Homo-oligomer: A and B are copies of this chain.
């Protein structure tokens, strides 16, 4: 037995491919780059292109064939795609997209902010034009924009051997086809037939005898929600029907995976105040613009906190130690609150926080705020006592920590619940609102108590 693993055993990782390409680019080995790209999928190439700054992207782009360009465009993030498509005219766009399905083409056309989109559609054959317009009619986050329409449709009243003969003469079929769709004469979805079952049952049986009830989603449903629904049911595949029950396409395992990754990435970006910044190596100007909004909002809340402190200048002037300890109160509230906030946002995303649960969670986080508040109030008061040898200061900071950590627990649960009820994404603004609450409550309780108890 051969004991050494073959070289290609685990393939090159994404990192290794990137390092390899970086070397080729650095040495300007254009023909080897083209050869390397020929061995990769469109989404792999897109991933690599996104890992270079804009000028290098242009050079890499030139090395792609028209077909590759289309596949890469459909896989690139919005911002990288907009940059590369900028210099293409309508007929070039038509050329690189003509082999893509209607969904991918519609996505690309959506990135064109000008008249070129219409021009491209005008250049298409009538049947394709209809198809694209149908897809464009869906909301950009609907299942209809993500589904695949190349499903194999069969009728229910035929024998399995006929289905098998039909598949043999039929042209292209996706190799990853797991299920065939059973429809009636008006294309209403009746059931599905696993390809494996087709092989295993007696060929003289009818489709209707062994077909199963399919997992279905509506074409107008939000795609990320649909993926979540399927995931929770342990399904990785669904038939897509319109509101009349007519089969219009399918969501595949690849779609569900892509949508799941998109959802997770969105949460991480939103929690960090990176709403629109998807492109890691975008030019500086674009990134500066993308971050301005959240820096601005943060500045407003920071000055709100400053204004709170401003109300207590008298007591700070008298006891400078308060200024020294002030950030500790805000910081402990901030981290405790963000723990609760993240747990709640995660629970909401997983469909676990709803109905009578909400009060259970609230009570639990309130209790944790109380207990953790008491524990850390003691610790902080003790450290403060050792440092400043002033019982009143220690008492004030301990009490403020307790108040702020309870407030953090309450805010960490309530902010996402309220944002969700308002139809907002709790991850997007939750963290900024939370920090504002814990800063304001922290400074107010600490300096307010100090004014009452210490100011002479």
Which residue numbers of A lie inside 8 Å of B, CB to CB? 1-3, 5-6, 9-11, 13-15, 18-19, 22, 26, 41, 43-44, 47, 50-53, 164, 167-168, 170, 173-178, 186, 194-201, 215-218, 221, 225-226, 228-229, 231-234, 236, 241, 243-245, 253-254, 256-257, 260-261, 263-265, 267-269, 271-274, 277, 280-281, 284, 287-288, 291-292, 294-295, 298-299, 301-303, 305-306, 309-310, 313, 316-317, 320-328, 330-332, 335-336, 338-339, 341-343, 345-347, 350-357, 360-361, 364, 367-368, 371-372, 375-376, 379-380, 383, 387, 435, 439, 443
When the two chains form their complex, are residues A254 and B234 in contact, meaning their CB atoms are under 8 A apart?
yes
Q: Given A167-B196, A357-B18, A320–B327 Cβ distance below 8 Å? A: no
- Alpha-carbon distance A338/B380, docked complex (angstroms): 26
**Whose C-beta in chain B lies nearest to the C-beta of A56?**
B360
Can you name 15 A-B residue pairings with CB atoms under 8 Å? A10-B229, A18-B352, A198-B199, A260-B264, A267-B268, A268-B345, A272-B342, A274-B339, A291-B336, A295-B335, A299-B379, A302-B328, A306-B325, A316-B316, A320-B323
Kindly list chain B residues whose C-beta atoms are within 8 Å of the C-beta of A168.
Answer: 199-201
- Alpha-carbon distance A287/B439, docked complex (angstroms): 24
When the two chains form their complex, are residues B327 and A167 in contact, meaning their CB atoms are under 8 A apart?
no
Q: Given A167-B196, A298-B335, A316-B323, A3–B351 Cβ distance below 8 Å? A: no
Kindly list chain B residues whose C-beta atoms are within 8 Å of the C-beta of A194.
Answer: 175-176
Kindly list chain B residues whose C-beta atoms are within 8 Å of the C-beta of A241.
Answer: 9
Kindly list chain B residues whose C-beta atoms are within 8 Å of the C-beta of A435.
Answer: 331
Query: Separation in Å of the A173 CB from the closest CB of chain B?
Result: 6
A11: which of B229, B310, B316 is its contact (CB, 8 Å)?
A: B229
Q: Given A168-B199, A233-B41, A317-B320, A221–B15 Cβ distance below 8 Å? A: no
Query: Separation in Å of the A279 CB from the closest CB of chain B?
Result: 10
Kindly list chain B residues whose C-beta atoms are within 8 Å of the C-beta of A310.
Answer: 324, 387
Query: Separation in Å of the A50 CB from the closest CB of chain B?
Result: 6
Query: Separation in Å of the A405 CB from the closest CB of chain B?
Result: 9
Query: Separation in Å of the A4 CB from the closest CB of chain B?
Result: 8
Kindly list chain B residues whose C-beta atoms are within 8 Å of the C-beta of A347.
Answer: 280
* Residue in A177, A335, A376 whose Cβ sees the most chain B Cβ within 10 Å: A335
- Alpha-carbon distance A135/B356, docked complex (angstroms): 41
**Whose C-beta in chain B lies nearest to the C-beta of A314?**
B320
Kindly list chain B residues whose C-beta atoms are within 8 Å of the C-beta of A303.
Answer: 328, 383
Kindly list chain B residues whose C-beta atoms are within 8 Å of the C-beta of A336.
Answer: 291, 295
When the two chains form their complex, are residues B316 and A284 in contact, meaning their CB atoms are under 8 A apart?
no
When the two chains form their complex, are residues B351 and A47 in contact, meaning their CB atoms are under 8 A apart?
yes
- Alpha-carbon distance A174/B178, docked complex (angstroms): 11
- Alpha-carbon distance A100/B325, docked complex (angstroms): 56
- Alpha-carbon distance A18/B11, docked complex (angstroms): 43
- Alpha-carbon distance A44/B199, docked complex (angstroms): 30
Query: Separation in Å of the A182 CB from the closest CB of chain B?
Result: 15
When the two chains form their complex, are residues A216 and B9 in contact, meaning their CB atoms are under 8 A apart?
yes
Query: Separation in Å of the A315 CB from the closest CB of chain B?
Result: 10
Query: Separation in Å of the A313 CB from the closest CB of chain B?
Result: 5
